[in-house]
Amino acid sequence: MASFDVVLKGGHVLDPVNGTDRVADVGIRLGKIDEVGDGLDTSGARVLDVGGRYVMPGHIDTHAHVSAVSDRGIDRAIGFKMLAESGTTTALDLNGEPHAFADGMKRRGSGMNFATLLSLVPFESVPEDDPRPRVVRKTLDQALADGAIGMKMIGGYHPFTPEATAGIIEVANARSAWIAYHIGSKETGSQIEGLREVPSILGRGRLHVAHVNSYTRGVINRAEDEVREAFEILSSMKGQIVSEAYLAQINGTNGLCDEEGNVVANVPRNCLQLRGYPRNEIGMRQALLDGYGFAHVEREGRIELATGEEAVAIWEAAGTNVSLSFPVNPASSAYTLTTEKDEDGEFYVDAVSTDGGSLPRNVAIERTFALVAFGALTALEAAHKLSWMPSQMLGLLNKGHFSEGADADVTMVDPGSGRATMSLVAGETIMQDGRSVADGGTWLVTSEGEAAAQASGLKHEVIDLSKSRLYEGWS
């Protein structure tokens, strides 16, 4: 009988929990980490030569997109394989609907572990604008029963009043359900002013502040000044929030214009304002023609970016209701948000996400290791932000490290390019040489969603959010 089922041979192991930062072998048995050491016995095992590569706990993405309540012309389930191909092993779908999510995992899954949230879109996923607490409770109960682990408010597109926003957070907190917030209320926008409003809305509650970099693009003040202010605001809520930022330059937004030709949502309006374009159809069309804006288009089973006349044609054919991207995230902001620590030696922003999946910006691993090559982070710090801290955020305590008995979710990274070359989930290969090689996946649900997960036929796992950093010490 072999000692191990799989041995990862000769890689540079990064385990921030156990302080491992050296060349070693990793032995896997029954989908779990069995041993990390030198010269492990390979007899009878499947041996994977990972020499010359970093071997770290699988990347856990706390902000991805593989389903959506409201989208036009794009099958977001493409994101399951797009995300796996970047080296991610576990993710939280942050703009979803559980039925669409489950259907997508069945059709286009990639062997990853995934949880999903219900996006609160008035008159679609929630029956009111500025929903009352009893309406929110009913919506949340159904979402949890359907397999979501909580809810997300999309303030950059479907803002609520500050009072309604506070009420939604309170309802979620009362159930210890996940609650994420793309910042912005009806009194502020999706920028630094919206972030300034959060402490008063939050009170003593708990909240996932989504993509901090989205509020430090220089819409109100200089980008570097907005980053510094963001740190002050995040520090004022320390212990109450979890946060992430992504490292891609492009964002993801929507080009919808109303009957008067004005751009509807706050986020694309900000994008046009940053480059001096009118915030209407004329400005949007010109931004696309100029190559400042990009339209999302599906090609060969993946989503790519189109610009110029092709982008205009896609946008017009969809009646302007199409997914777009703009290069609006300053590199200096991304650098500082990812690397800076507070006076306690903790990172101001907890994790590095992609905000990707079906959005073509799954560069969290690649860009984080570019910061390692630059000397801005150590390799162990990269693993900390990509794996260990996200596992704590979500309460996935058996992931993010290589302790004996931990889940054998592993990402291998080429130190030269920073790109993931292989990844495993429970000891099984799900990505090889940048291509997804697995299907299905494991649906992460709360106990309320277990029946729905069982009925779906998908492999599933029940998680306990009371163990998450979001609800750490909550009572």
The DSSP string of 15-78 is: ETTTTEEEEEEEEEETTEEEEEESS---TTSEEEE-TTSEEEEPEEEEEEES--SS-SS--TTH
Please name the residues in contact with 343: beta carbons below 8 A apart, sequence gap of 6 or more.
none
Cα–Cα distance for residue pair 222/231, rounded to 1 Å: 15
- Of residues 91, 95, 41, the one with CA closest to residue 67: 95
Q: Which residue has the tokens 């359900």?
A: 177
Instruction: Please report how many Cα atoms fall inside a 13 Å half-sphere around the Cα of residue 312, on the Cβ side.
Output: 14
The token duo for 332 is: 């200096």
**328 contacts 359 by C-beta, under 8 angstroms:** no
How confident is the model over 161-187, as a mean pLDDT?
98
Are 138 and 275 found together in one domain? no
Determine, yes or no, domain membership for 427: no
- Of residues 344, 412, 322, 417, the one with CA closest to residue 56: 412
Are 143 and 271 found together in one domain? no
DSSP 469: G
Structural domains of the chain, count: 2
- Of residues 136, 76, 77, the one with CA closest to residue 107: 77
- What is the spatial order of strands in the sheet that 302-306 belongs to? 253-254, 323-325, 294-299, 302-306
In the chain, the amino acid numbered 463 is: I
Determine, yes or no, domain membership for 306: yes
Cα–Cα distance for residue pair 99/449, rounded to 1 Å: 12
Last residue of a domain, one of 326, 350, 379: 326
* pLDDT score of 151: 98
The token duo for 17 is: 């929990």
Cα–Cα distance for residue pair 292/297, rounded to 1 Å: 16
Are 143 and 205 found together in one domain? yes
Does the pLDDT at position 1 exceed 60? no
Are 358 and 313 found together in one domain? no
Does the pLDDT at position 154 exceed 70? yes
How confident is the model over 387-406, as a mean pLDDT?
98
pTM of the model: 0.96
Alpha-carbon separation of residue 111 from 114, 224, 423 (angstroms): 9, 39, 10
Determine, yes or no, domain membership for 421: no
Where b means 16+ CB within 10 Å and e means fewer, 11-40 reads bbbbbbbeebbeebbbbbbeebbbbbeeeb
Lowest mean pLDDT among 69-78, 96-105, 195-204, 418-427: 69-78
Determine, yes or no, domain membership for 78: no
Last residue of a domain, one of 281, 298, 326: 326
Last residue of a domain, one of 283, 309, 326: 326
Are 290 and 154 found together in one domain? no
Cα–Cα distance for residue pair 155/199, rounded to 1 Å: 15
Are 201 and 100 found together in one domain? yes
CATH number reported for the structural domain that contains residue 150 in this entry: 3.20.20.140
Determine, yes or no, domain membership for 111: yes
Are 333 and 273 found together in one domain? no
pLDDT tens for 289-348 read: 999 999 999 998 899 999 999 999 999 999 999 999 999 999 999 999 999 999 999 999
Are 102 and 222 found together in one domain? yes
Cα–Cα distance for residue pair 417/459, rounded to 1 Å: 34
Confidence of residue 73 (pLDDT cuts 50, 70, 90): low
* pLDDT score of 406: 98
Lowest mean pLDDT among 67-76, 89-98, 212-221, 357-366: 67-76
- Beta strand pairing call for 54-57 and 351-353: unpaired
Please report, in angstroms and rounded to a whole number, the separation of the first and last CA atoms in the chain.
Answer: 48
Cα–Cα distance for residue pair 159/164, rounded to 1 Å: 9
Determine, yes or no, domain membership for 209: yes
The token duo for 429 is: 């290969």
Determine, yes or no, domain membership for 25: no
Determine, yes or no, domain membership for 6: no
In the chain, the amino acid numbered 131 is: P
* pLDDT score of 2: 55
How confident is the model over 426-430, as a mean pLDDT?
98
* pLDDT score of 463: 98
Cα–Cα distance for residue pair 412/232, rounded to 1 Å: 35
Q: DSSP assignment of 78-142, as one string?
A: HHHHHHHTTTEEEEEEEEE-HHHHHHHHHHH--S-EEEEEEEE-BTTTBSSSS--HHHHHHHHHH
Confidence of residue 75 (pLDDT cuts 50, 70, 90): confident
The token duo for 99 is: 């039925």
- Of residues 58, 90, 61, 79, the one with CA closest to residue 424: 58
Are 280 and 335 found together in one domain? no
Confidence of residue 212 (pLDDT cuts 50, 70, 90): very high
Does the pLDDT at position 424 exceed 70? yes
Per the structure, the complete domain to which residue 112 belongs is given by 60-70+87-249+329-394+438-475
- Of residues 89, 182, 106, 108, the one with CA closest to residue 147: 106
Are 378 and 460 found together in one domain? yes
Cα–Cα distance for residue pair 423/55, rounded to 1 Å: 9
In the chain, the amino acid numbered 151 is: M
Are 322 and 207 found together in one domain? no
Cα–Cα distance for residue pair 174/291, rounded to 1 Å: 46
Are 337 and 305 found together in one domain? no
Confidence of residue 231 (pLDDT cuts 50, 70, 90): very high
Does the pLDDT at position 70 exceed 70? no
